Chain A
Amino acid sequence: MKKVIILTLMILLITGLIFSTTITFWTTEVESNRLERIKALAILFESVYDIEVEVVPVEENDLLQRIPIAKAAGTLPDVVEGGIEPMLLMGSEDLLHEELATEIISEFGDIYTGASRLLSSGENTYYAVPFHAWVQGIWYRKDWFNEKGLEDPIEWEEILDAAKELHDPDNGVYGLILPKQADAYCEQAFTEIALANGARPIDLEGNITFDTPEMIEAFRFYKELGKYSKPGYTTVIDALNGYLSEEAAMIFYSTYIMDDIAVEEVQKSRIDDYNPELVKNTGFANYMENTDRSSYGQVVALAILESTKEEEAAKKFVKFLMTGNNYIYWLHMAPGGMNPTRSSIAENPDFLDNYVLERYGTEKIMEIISALENIVRFDFYKGHVLEEMSKISGAFTIGKAINSMFANDWTPEETAKWAQKEAEKLFE
Chain B
Amino acid sequence: MSGRRVAVTGLGVVAPLGDSVEELCANLLAGRSGIRRLDIPLAEALRSPIGASAGFRGDAHFPAPRLRMLDRVSQMALVAAAQAVADANLNFGTENRDRCGVSVGSGMGGAETTDEGYHIIYAERSDRVKPYTVLASMTNAAASWIGIDYGMTGPNLTYSTACSSGAVAVGEAARRIQSGDVDVMLAGGAEAPLTFGVLRAWEAMRTVASPDPQDPSASCRPFARNRTGLVLGEGAAFVALEEWNHAMARGARIHAELTGYGLTTDTAHITRPTAAGQAAAMRAALNSAGLDPGAVDYVNAHGTATLQNDAVETAAIKEVFGARAYALPVSSTKSMHGHLLGAAGALEFVIAIASMERGIVPPTMHLDLRDPDCDLDYVPERARTGVNLKAVMSNSFAFGGTNAVLIAEAFGARR
Report if A and B associate in a common complex. no
